[in-house]
Structure 1
Amino acid sequence: MKIFKTWLAIVGLLAAFILVAPAPAQAAPFCGITWGSLAKTAGTASSASITNVRAGQHSCFDRLVVDINGPASGYTVGYVSAVHRQGSGAVVPLRGGAFLSVNVDAVTYNVNTGAATYIPANPNELINTTGYATFRQVAYAGSFEGITTLGLGVRARLPFRALVLAGPGTSTRFVIDVAHRW
């Protein structure tokens, strides 16, 4: 009988512990990201023009979107020690622990008329990245001979992917997603 009472007491203490034990902390979402951090290149040159640069936040990554008026598929994106302005070669000052050089095979002007299609209000701060998990700064580095260069300052060298999305209509969106973590 004494063993039975001892056993009941132990079971009762365990039940009480389970009922009052704190819940585990909410874990970060599992994203299954397998992108890697090596340079990515694809597509071919085009005569399309950039109309906007914007960004968004997702649960697993920050996203940079370049809106292009027309079909475009060419790009080269990779981590570099510094992003350089087209023409002068001057270093683009960027915040962050790592820098992505983003080269899009599209320009910020109409190739037939020379009229600007994208004029950033502040070339050094294309996007307000306050509150972003990974992005620290997005800067315009120039557009020349069919290529536009952007500098993307990020928290650290993290996995990223680059892709081209068709639409809406005849437009194209060039997308770079940078993961929040490995």
Structure 2
Amino acid sequence: MRRFHACLGTVLVAVGLGLVAPGPASAAPYCGIVWGSLAKSNPALAQAQVVNVRTGPQPCFDRLVIDLNGAVAGYSIRYVPQVLQDGSGLPVDLRGNAFLQITVNAPAYSAGGNATYNPADKNELTNVSDYKTFRQVAYAGSFEGYTSLGLGLRARLPFRVFTLAGPGTGSRLVIDVAHMW
């Protein structure tokens, strides 16, 4: 009995000193991110064309921006086992362990068929070598009024999608992918 009380006393002292304390019931989300990783889409079609793709690292996420010369109307962004090219359906080889297929409901060519976005290197749209989440951004084509990109990621992580008006009459489709859950 004396041994039991000695052990109980030791445990109570350890708990009182904070040496043995239960963890929190649930951890707070990383950077307040509560986005999730399910597909996000808007089926509307745009009269605008894709004119640029750019990226930027942020403290809690990596950002991809698609610039249009008019209003963003629709898009579809989802995790896929493999990104496929528009029209042909051929696979797009990407670095990473998870892949987002990004489709904006706007062509990368004018009504006359002239390119409004024609990247110099379709496999490396931007240099993301020092990013925490992005591994590669590749062009997957523009076909029948839709333009697709492939985004190779470190892992399947939460992402959000939103649109911004401007500059001028243009707009932007923004995809943020968190660095962690």
TM over 0.5, shorter chain: yes
The residue type equivalent to 1:32 in the other structure is: G
CA shift at 1:30, angstroms?
Answer: 4.9
SS in 2 for 1:101: strand
Question: Which whole-Å deviations, capped at 9, do the CAs of 1:5-31 have from their partners, x for residues lacking one?
Answer: xxxxxxxxxxxxxxxxxxxxxxxx951
Shift of 1:103: 0.4
Q: Equivalent residue for 2:102?
A: 102
Given that residues 103 and 149 in structure 1 are in contact (C-alpha distance below 8 angstroms), is that contact kept between their aligned partners in structure 2?
Answer: yes
One-letter identity of the residue aligned with 2:56 = G
Deviations 1:38-75 (A, max 9, x none): 00012510121111000001000000000000112200
Tell me the secondary structure at the aligned position of residue 31 of structure 1.
Answer: helix
Contact 1:82 1:92 in 2 (8 A): yes
1:69 aligned partner: 69
1:170: which partner in 2?
169
Q: Against the structure 1 CA distance between its residues 30 and 99, is the aligned structure 2 distance closer, same or farther, given a 3 Å change threshold? A: closer
Question: For residues 152 and 173 of structure 2, what CA distance do their matches in structure 1 show?
Answer: 18
Identity %: 60
Equivalent in the alignment of 1:48: 48
Matched residue type, 1:52: N
2:18 corresponds to = none
Q: Distance in 2 between matches of 1:109 and 1:146?
A: 8
| Secondary structure of 1:79's aligned partner | strand
1-structure distance, mates of 2:88, 2:43: 26
**Does structure 1 residue 90 correspond to structure 2 residue 90?**
yes
Question: Are the equivalent residues in 2 in contact too, given 1:47–1:146 (CA < 8 A)?
Answer: no
Partner-residue secondary structure (3-state), 1:91: coil
In structure 2, the partner of 1:155 is 154
Are the counterparts in 2 of residues 92 and 141 from structure 1 also a CA contact under 8 Å?
Answer: yes
Counterpart Cα distance in 1 of 2:73 and 2:130: 30
State the distance in 1 between where 2:103 and 2:58 align: 23
The superposition leaves residues 141-163 of structure 1 with CA deviations (integer Å, 9 ceiling, x where unpaired) of 11011110100000000000011
3-state DSSP of counterpart to 2:31: coil
Deviation at 1:168, TM superposition (A): 1.2
Aligned twin of 1:19 = none
Question: What secondary structure, in the 3-state scheme, does the structure 1 residue paired with 2:161 have?
Answer: strand
How many residues align? The count is: 153
Paired with 2:86 and 2:72, the residues of 1 have a C-alpha distance of: 20
Structure 2, unpaired ranges of 5+: 1-28
The SS at the match of 1:149 is strand
Structure 1 Cα separation of the partners of residues 76 and 146 of structure 2:
10
Give 1:137 shift: 0.3
Give the TM-score, by structure 2 length.
0.82
Alignment-mate amino acid for residue 34 of structure 1: V
Contact preservation (8 Å) 2:96, 2:153: yes
Deviation beyond 6 Å, 4+ runs, structure 1: none
Root-mean-square deviation (Å): 1.2
